[in-house]
Structure formats: C-alpha cells, structure tokens
Amino acid sequence: MRVIVSGATGFLGSRLCAYLQGNGHEVIGLGRDADKGGYLETCGTRFVSVDISVPPAQSMLKRLGRADVFVHAAGLSSAWGSRAAFLQANVVGTRHALTMARAAGAERFVFISSPSVTFRFLDQKDLREDVPLPKPINAYAQSKQIAERDVLAASDLAPIILRPRAIYGHGDVALLPRLIRAARNGPLPLLRGGRAATNLTYVDDVVRGIVCAMDAPRNIAGRTYNIAGDEALPLRLIIESAAKKAGIEVRWRSIPWSLALSAARLAELVARLRPDAREPVMTAYALGTLAFTQTLDISAARQEIGFAPQVRFEEGLHRTFRGDFTP
C-alpha cells in the first residue's frame, strides 16, 4: 500500500511512518522539520517538505504522485493560542490535505481529531462518538469540530475520523512532560477531591488504530471512532506515577473548583491582554481535565474496525522512560 502521512515529523506521525515502513508499505511523509525529515529518509520514508496551512502547489502535488491512503496527522495542538492560528492550521490545513488526497487519487482519508471536541465541565464516563458536540471549550476544539465536518463531507474519500485520547510514549514532548514540569514547579491543584479519571493511550496503540482505519472496508466510511487505552485511570495516579519515574515527589493543594476556575479565567484574560499573549500557568481547559472524569467508550472501534489496545499504563510508562526522556 502507498500511504501519504501529513505531520510525519511529529510525535505520532513519525511513529506511524516507522511502523508502516517496517511492514512493507511505501510511505511519503509530509512535514516542515527538514532535520527530522532527513532522519525519516534514512529509515526509508520519502520526505516532502510541506507547510500544510499553505495551498499546495501543482508541482508539489505531482511530486507526491498517487497513493492509496492519506493519513492527516498534522495540526496545531495546544490548550492555548489564537483562534486565527488554530483555524489556519487545523481547518484550512485539513482542507488542503483533502485537496492533496484527491490529487493523489487516495481511496481513504484518515483524519486524526481529538476528544477535546466533546469536552464539558462535568464528568463524562464511557463517552460514545455519537454524543452531540457541545459548544467548543477553546479555539483548538472549535477548529477540530469544523475540520471534522469538512472531512465527513468528503464522502468520495471514504473518510474515517479517529479521536485518540491523551497520547503518550517515548518521544512525547507534551502530555507527561508538561505534567512533570508542573509538579516540579510547585503544588498541583487537588480539585473535587482528586476523583477525576481518564484513559491514556500509548502511541503504538494509536498507530494500531490508524492501521485498522486504513485497512477497514471501503463501505465503512463517514464514521468516527474513539481510540484509547481500556483502563480508566485516576489522574492522581497517572501524575504521581510519572513524577516518581522522574524522581519528583508530587505536592497537592486542595482548592475549591469554582475558585480555581475563576482564577484560571482571570489568568487567561490577563494573558490575552499581553502583547505576546503568553500561555498562562493554567488554562480553564487544562484545569477542567484535572477536575472531571473524561473516559471514552471504544466498543465501536473494537467491533467495526478491529481496534484493540495492547499496552497497559504500567508497561507504557516503563517504555516511555526507557532511554532518553527529558521532561
């Protein structure tokens, strides 16, 4: 199979390229990081330097050639940033990816979205994919909601949307490193008695989910699937386990939820008024993920495309910290 992967120089994209290459597929990786692209080339992936937010030139489309599948893993992912930046990267970028997929004659488009599109300030256990989407919690979630609608409208590409929950693993520079840095810098807020839980998903399991979507029959199209580990883990356990691996003892400070949320929203307001609009120490969304249970029902992905997570948290954490992991 010939596969185009956008975001190939990112954490998930590079792992996907390596897996596909190692399993006999021909892979074309798109990305902006030339150094990482050069490494991909040494591993057998053909790298094409592309800024997905810029309209694709005809010369570049010809360089890509034909492909069976287009996996769109590129995007701007953050709890903080300007609405314009998220829309350009995640909405306009997705539209450009759809254009590239059509030019390549792809028969399937796999879009990596986010469970943030379903986030609410309340406990949500075993959340299904067909739940009505709420008002977006932030600009990132808004951009992913819009992009999902665009992808589902591209019926000619037999699209499948995946919403992987909290990806971690060796090479992660976002999830666990951010939690560890926060634990190192001072007490963490203990909200609502510390009873929040979530699923984490080891990066190799997300790759398995993508491959399941790639291999799904063409009549399975226009579907959205949750991708997650099958353990509902207390967030307190996740943070303390990761911090222990990094040699840090976590300190907690019990704070009323309403007070913490008011402080986070005030910090966001102040940050937006700054010339550099620097991210505040704690955003309302990040605070909400610490306060409320958010777990995903993955039964549809199991039954319809054969997805089954294989890496449990204890093993995933061991793999994450094996080798060079610098939070």
3-state secondary structure of 277: coil
Q: Taking a C-beta distance cutoff of 8 angstroms, is the pair 89, 53 a contact?
A: yes
**Which of 19, 39, 140, 285 does the annotation list as catalytic?**
140
> pTM here?
0.94
Confidence (pLDDT) at 34 = 85
Q: Taking a C-beta distance cutoff of 8 angstroms, is the pair 14, 43 a contact?
A: no
Confidence (pLDDT) at 35 = 86
Domain ranges in the chain are 2-167+200-228+296-310
Tell me whether residue 140 is one of the annotated catalytic residues. yes
Confidence (pLDDT) at 232 = 95
Query: What are the structure tokens assigned to 254, written together?
Result: 């019990």
CATH superfamily, with its number, for domain 2-167+200-228+296-310: NAD(P)-binding Rossmann-like Domain (3.40.50.720)
Q: How confident is the model at residue 327 (pLDDT cuts 50, 70, 90)?
A: very low
In this structure, how many other beta carbons lie within 10 angstroms of the beta carbon of residue 126?
A: 13
Confidence (pLDDT) at 43 = 83
Distances (CA, A) of 18 to 3, 12, 45, 204: 12, 10, 8, 11
